[in-house]
A and B are shown apart, each in its own frame.
Chain A
């Protein structure tokens, strides 16, 4: 007798994967905590977090929109202005260090830089440059509207029970003064300046530390909050690392995946949902990707979310 003698079928490749159609691969996730129908859930992170929010809402679950658009406004228009995408209008947050920066600002644990970009007669928020299609009317409005988002983010931390964070990538851009931009200046506003703008392809230790600090900060302000991590399966759009994009993507996702595993293994209130594996594993033969091999197809999103809800039901019974 040895430990592998009694492992369940899901633990053996032959039974769990090789002998099955990809659509029959199951039991991919054993959730640590229930997310019931009325559990307030917030979603942030890479773009895939939006699909998570949509799926939760479609199921009638309590996705918390802390910075809602007026109800009269169509979803299309609201989303064009960054509403109803994430639980606050932070726009995508691809790196844990950027999440930490937003959280520190929200809880007044770090000073917010005064940088504002100019575009014609309008003003761009460097920390969410595409949140408004035409930018804001004045630098004061940039600050004022960001303050609203920071207040909403505070609400997300203090009033929710589950904080979903989709990790996007490790490549990041910093100002030499130490603060981080969500995207490279010059690509969607602002002007790139190689003396001031510094590329950092974050290593495991940096990602792990930032994510750990972000979680600690959130728990400090809400000791009940639980964290559900996932890694966005969407590959990098472009890399500044010098590596081939495929190699850079693999490195990025591997580091994020490892950091998520490390933190999830260390804390009962941190869990990891394997959405990344469902799309990226060779077993699924890329079938959940659109022809550009970058975007996740609606069928892929459905499959991922079905895995999510099935796992919740298997572990904790029907959603109530």
Chain B
């Protein structure tokens, strides 16, 4: 099976973890990353899509056996990493009393605006490949929101992506506080956004566990 990891700096964290903990199984991993949520300074999509090739092209960084372009048809599974707000952050944005349907619609809308959505859309145009999605890790220094809200939001994110035939890989519970924040030990020092090497290893482990599990049945 070929696994294509596409992401921003968070994919870079996974790659470092991958280098430390190589896959014992015979999976063919390819990593493609671009900083700053795939956007250039003008806020445009820095990663172009070549419809003729069916490929995402011009990644600043790639690693693996498939060349510089992420050709969709070459891969059985995509792991999309980062460029999607963490559940706890979305819960914070939506931290007020509202109806269940409005909260679900708001979560879906935020997910749709995440830069990862473009990759999902383009992959799904030509491929039934499995897609796993990993959001940014939760921050560790934000004002916490009630843990129940973060859990509900994570559930709604998973439900939304399931409707797009995308499986959410959740942040490993061991890296998180009860409020849904990342424990400081699993964040880089002086960085409220990225995993520490230990955190990244646990995140990579979560991806591997998800790959080992049967593909989730599409919910709609």
Chains A and B form a bound pair = yes
User: Nearest-CB distance from A16 to chain B (Å)?
Assistant: 49
Q: Which of A54-80 contact B (CB under 8 A)?
A: 69-74, 77, 80
Contacts of B100 in A (CB 8 A): 136-137, 141
Contacts of B105 in A (CB 8 A): 77, 80-81
Verify B109–A70 contact, CB threshold 8 A.
Answer: no
The chain B residue sitting closest to A83, CB to CB, is B102
Per the bound structure, the CA–CA distance linking A203 and B144 in Å amounts to: 55
Verify B109–A73 contact, CB threshold 8 A.
Answer: yes
Verify A70–B106 contact, CB threshold 8 A.
Answer: yes
Question: Does B99 belong to the interface (CB within 8 Å)?
Answer: yes
Question: Does A145 belong to the interface (CB within 8 Å)?
Answer: yes
With A72-B93, A72-B94 as known contacts, state yes or no: A134 contacts B101, CB within 8 Å. yes
Contacts of A134 in B (CB 8 A): 101
Question: Does A282 belong to the interface (CB within 8 Å)?
Answer: no
Per the bound structure, the CA–CA distance linking A81 and B99 in Å amounts to: 9
Residues of B in contact, count (CB < 8 Å) = 14
Contacts of B97 in A (CB 8 A): 144-145, 148
Instruction: Select one of A70, A71, A72, A132 contacting B99, CB under 8 A.
Output: A132
Contacts of B93 in A (CB 8 A): 70-72
Verify B109–A74 contact, CB threshold 8 A.
Answer: yes
Contacts of A77 in B (CB 8 A): 105-106, 109
The chain B residue sitting closest to A71, CB to CB, is B93
Per the bound structure, the CA–CA distance linking A38 and B146 in Å amounts to: 35
Contacts of A71 in B (CB 8 A): 93
Question: Does B185 belong to the interface (CB within 8 Å)?
Answer: no
0 or 1 for each of B94-118: is its CB under 8 Å from A? (1 = yes): 1111111110011001100000000
Question: Does A133 belong to the interface (CB within 8 Å)?
Answer: yes
Verify A132–B102 contact, CB threshold 8 A.
Answer: yes
Contacts of A70 in B (CB 8 A): 93-96, 98, 106
Per the bound structure, the CA–CA distance linking A133 and B93 in Å amounts to: 22
A136-B99, A145-B98 provided; 19 other pairs, C-beta below 8 A?
A: A69-B106, A70-B94, A70-B96, A70-B106, A71-B93, A72-B110, A73-B109, A80-B105, A81-B102, A81-B105, A132-B99, A132-B101, A132-B102, A133-B101, A136-B100, A137-B99, A141-B100, A144-B97, A145-B99
